[in-house]
Every structure is written in structure tokens, then in C-alpha cells.
Amino acid sequence: MVLTDGEITLRPIKLRDQRAWREVNRRNRDWLRPWEATIPPPPPGLVPPHRPTYRQMVRHLRAEAHAGRMLPFVVEYQGRLVGQLTVAGITWGSMCSGHIGYWVDQEVAGRGVIPTAVALAVDHCFRSVGLHRIEVCIRPENSPSRRVVEKLGFREEGIRPRYLHIDGAWRDHAVYALTAEEVPEGLLGRWRRENPSRPGTAPGTPPQIK
């Protein structure tokens, strides 16, 4: 599944993305480190787990996608890999929910790339996958990431104390959420109307799904 809106594309992550992914990740180490998930120390007597290699990460993401629990994408801008977006924790039954995480190259931050990518992913989840609710959980100190979801109209629902292990410690996270009923016209359509100068196509041009 490839989702495209003008210059911005979401597509499944691939093993052959390794070189481009590593290059972007390396250049953005200092930019990304404060917000990246880390592995907590194990109980006494157990060996600490190793951080997965790129190939191990992709294989895990593919396995989770095959099981229906995840949608792992890379973000492309003007044909170049600039980040990653993952819909994870997909739950079915009476919940039909998932949560989105993302990161982006600092060189293109602030250009509307990630808000457009999130809007593409949310519309796909609501309209094609059949989810009802999407969450984004963000450290309160991460102002740029919070601005992404606030621009898109996600509701802030509160704080989850010590929710995820980030940058070496258990960190509080602000919870933002959106349900399908809140965007009957589609999140991308609303984002386009409110931000006509963002990167992408002219208003009224539908996104492409391949």
C-alpha cells in the first residue's frame, strides 16, 4: 500500500531502504535522541537485550504487519526518504484502535511533511483498514511533535505517567486522540483547507492510493 499526496509519500519500509534510512538517522542523531524509545534495564541476573539491527527491525515490523498489528511506513518527500511513520498497537474487537509514532529529518521539519503524512495514515486507517480511534502519545517537552497533532485537530486527553522508556528513563507522555466520527470529511481534506500553502497538490486533488 502506497499513499501519496503531491510531494509526500507513505510506503511500506523495505530492506533495501537500509542505506538511506541509516544516512538520515545518522545525520539526525542529536535531533532524534531525546525522543527515541530505549530498552529498560532487565531484572537482576538477566542479560540486557541488544538494540536490533536494521534488518531485524524490518523483519519484526513485517511480521507485525502480517499479523495485522502494525502498518510500518517510510516517509518520502520529493522522492527522498526523510523519515518513518508507524501505526502500531492495532487492536480489533470492540476497540478497533491503534497509535501512531513518527520521526522526520530535521532538514524538512516545519514544511508540513509529517502533518500530511499523519493525515494520510489516519484517513487510510479510518476509511480502508476499519479502525475507529487513533492515538498519538508525545513527551510533554516535545513541542514540535505536539504542534503536529495540534495542527491536525487531535484532542489532548491527558498525561500518562511514566508511559514509555525514552532516552534512558521512563517518561510521561501527553495523549492525543482522534475518532472517525470527528473527521467525516477526512483528516487530509481538513488539513488541506486549513493549510493551503502546505507541500502537496492543489486543493481538490485527491490523494493517490496504490
Q: Please indicate whether residue 198 or residue 104 has the higher confidence score (pLDDT).
A: 104
CB atoms within 10 A of CB 151: 17
3-class DSSP assignment, residue 22? helix
Rg (CA), the chain: 17
Percent of the chain with pLDDT over 90: 84
Position 204 pLDDT exceeds 70 = no
User: DSSP class of residue 108?
Assistant: G
Q: Dump pLDDT digits (tens) for 40-89.
A: 988 888 887 788 999 999 999 999 999 999 999 999 999 999 999 999 99
Strands 155-166 and 169-179: antiparallel
Q: Dump pLDDT digits (tens) for 144-171.
A: 999 999 999 999 999 999 999 999 999 9
Residue recorded with cell 524509545: 37
Which residue pairs from 80-84 have beta carbons closer than 8 angstroms and sit at least 24 positions apart in sequence? 80/20, 81/17, 81/20, 81/21, 81/24, 82/24, 82/107, 82/108, 82/113, 83/24, 83/108, 83/113, 83/114, 83/117, 84/13, 84/21
Whole-structure pTM value: 0.92
Position 1 pLDDT exceeds 90 = no
